[in-house]
Chain A
């Protein structure tokens, strides 16, 4: 909430100090402690109304968990999620149901997100039944018009999920998420389960929806080029922390954090003559069960200094408005 106080009125969602730990192993005896894993480690970010924010990072960095915390699929261990100046964690019953209507979620795996035994059209208008009671005739019309707006035909509505292609399924999931006319759409790796040829269809559809309906997007992906294409701002996550967070232009053209640099460096460029001399990431993500001390990135970081293994760096605002969590910035190593 304190971040970007200038823009506070425009912020549709503000996440502060959000953390989630899961129990991995229960203590067998009452005096034995449970073993926890910190998946999300106190992150702050905000989304402005009408913008598209991307969250990127490797598998297991906590980006999907962040989305699920906002969606109330998991409940946070600590931290606050403020949506339109209402704290979501405090809401209960009817109020919660009403607010939940405005935030919708697009799943990574469209096959799993659809009930295999119900025709897709019924699944598209089911949220309306849940929120407004039975009025199937009107709902059906609305669902058909949505189905058409995502480029499908009315005849597809009678089909079951397994009769549709992957791209069609994801479009059905999108149509279902749109039927309650949400303000915020959270897309949790909506394209990673799809063929490359279909990925662009879905991304173009998302852009169309954003432009036509003025929907705010939270787009989670590990595909940097898609995030660059679709979003206005991007947050880079590593092992439960946001390491760099800023406008796409500055972040992609001049990444500061060594992790961001290595990620952007890993985007394939279709020109062999371009010489890559920047950081190339080596090794694996350390185990979340036994995270490294200090900065989580320091075992893989080529410019790590002695302090990196002692303390967790804080997100600091740079002169160009972005935020970076790295000790090397102070030393000036990042601006080479």
Chain B
């Protein structure tokens, strides 16, 4: 510290006494917060209607490039729709799908894991068999089969995202519950005559929630990537609705002539998943009692 004072030049990191890692976490949190705010306020901040076609202004480059239109900051796509507005709406839908998918998955997977831990024996064997089955099957193929079979809709799509990674939650929840059940507090509440729901929800869940929460932060980027992959393949979100995967998928045909159609949404995906991973790491460190 003394050294930096005598030098008279101090960076932000030294002034605030924060490490580079913390700074990264702060940036990641700000980015995610911005994404969420954009998602919530997309109808307010989008200048243009994201479905408005204007064939005269097709494939305009971003406004800072030669030939750009000040009215369309990120340019327009092959149908002359405003890229910035489409990006906002895509973030809105992608985040919605990812958040709902992650939450549904956490609830479903944890419940299944607790059920396996509670009943043991035959039920446990069946559930663990299903877990192994799911873990050995590429999820993409399962999702493609389901979407090809039923008509694709946003509800179905969220439902599919809601079972993506359930087997990991189930495994975690089962293992954690099995060890927590042997703890005195769980045995104690049971001797008072508490119902299994009370034992699991009020007593075991808060004590094992850390691990599940960390798993959620790890699962969230995966859900986003799965959603974009399916949309990229044309089986996810259907036009006129738009998601980040859609944008990348449709921009692919113009990659050489109009790179901004692909690169900008791809950067949004990349930065969002990266931020979530950084934040997840931080949460894991914070909640790990061994690192305190």
Contact = CB atoms under 8 A, between A and B. Distances in A.
**Do A and B bind?**
yes
Interface of A: 71-73, 96-97, 100-101, 104-105, 107, 109, 111-118, 126-127, 130-131, 173, 176, 180
B209 to A, nearest CB: 9
Contact of B207 (A100, A113, A115, A176): A115
B59 to A, nearest CB: 57
B185 A100 contact: no
8 contacts: A73-B191, A96-B193, A105-B188, A111-B184, A115-B206, A116-B207, A118-B203, A131-B192
A67 B62 CA distance: 77
A95 to B, nearest CB: 11
Interface in B262-276: none
Interface string B118-159: 000000000000000000000000000000000000000000
B108 to A, nearest CB: 24
Contacts of B207: 115-117
Closest 10 CB pairs of A and B: A112-B184, A113-B184, A127-B192, A115-B185, A97-B193, A117-B206, A113-B188, A130-B194, A100-B193, A107-B184
B198 interface: yes
Nearest to B188: A113
Contacts of A96: 193
Contacts of B187: 73, 107, 113
B189 interface: yes
Contacts of B203: 115, 118
A116 B194 CA distance: 18
A130 B185 contact: no
Contacts of B189: 115, 126, 130
Given A109-B184, A113-B185, A115-B185, A100 B206 contact: no
Nearest to A180: B192
B191 A131 contact: no
A107 B188 contact: yes
A96 B191 CA distance: 11
Interface residues of B, number: 17
A130 B193 contact: yes
Contacts of B188: 105, 107, 113-114, 173, 176
Interface centre among A109, A113, A114, A180 (most CB of B within 10 A): A113
A173 B187 CA distance: 13
A126 B192 contact: yes
B22 interface: no
Interface in B162-204: 183-185, 187-195, 198, 202-203
Contacts of A130: 189, 192-195, 198
Contacts of A115: 185, 189, 203, 206-207
Contacts of B198: 130
A176 B194 CA distance: 14
Interface centre among B187, B190, B195 (most CB of A within 10 A): B187
A331 to B, nearest CB: 45
B185 A131 contact: no
Nearest to A117: B206
A113 B187 CA distance: 8
B182 to A, nearest CB: 9
Contacts of B191: 71-73, 100, 104-105
Contacts of A104: 191
Interface string B193-230: 11100100011001100000000000000000000000
B24 to A, nearest CB: 30
Given A115-B203, A115-B207, A101 B193 contact: yes
Given A114-B185, A126-B194, 10 more contacts: A73-B190, A107-B184, A111-B184, A113-B184, A113-B188, A115-B189, A115-B206, A117-B207, A118-B202, A176-B188
A73 B190 CA distance: 8
A246 to B, nearest CB: 30
A112 B189 CA distance: 12
A97 B189 CA distance: 12
A184 to B, nearest CB: 13
Nearest to A112: B184
Nearest to A115: B185
A182 B198 CA distance: 22
Nearest to B204: A115
A46 to B, nearest CB: 22
Contacts of B192: 100, 126-127, 130-131, 180
Nearest to A73: B187
A182 to B, nearest CB: 11
B207 to A, nearest CB: 6
A100 B191 CA distance: 7
A97 B198 CA distance: 15
Contacts of A105: 188, 191
Contacts of A180: 192
A95 B207 CA distance: 31
Nearest to A72: B191
Interface centre among B191, B195, B198 (most CB of A within 10 A): B191
A126 B195 CA distance: 12
Interface centre among A73, A117, A176 (most CB of B within 10 A): A117
A223 B184 CA distance: 22
Nearest to B205: A117
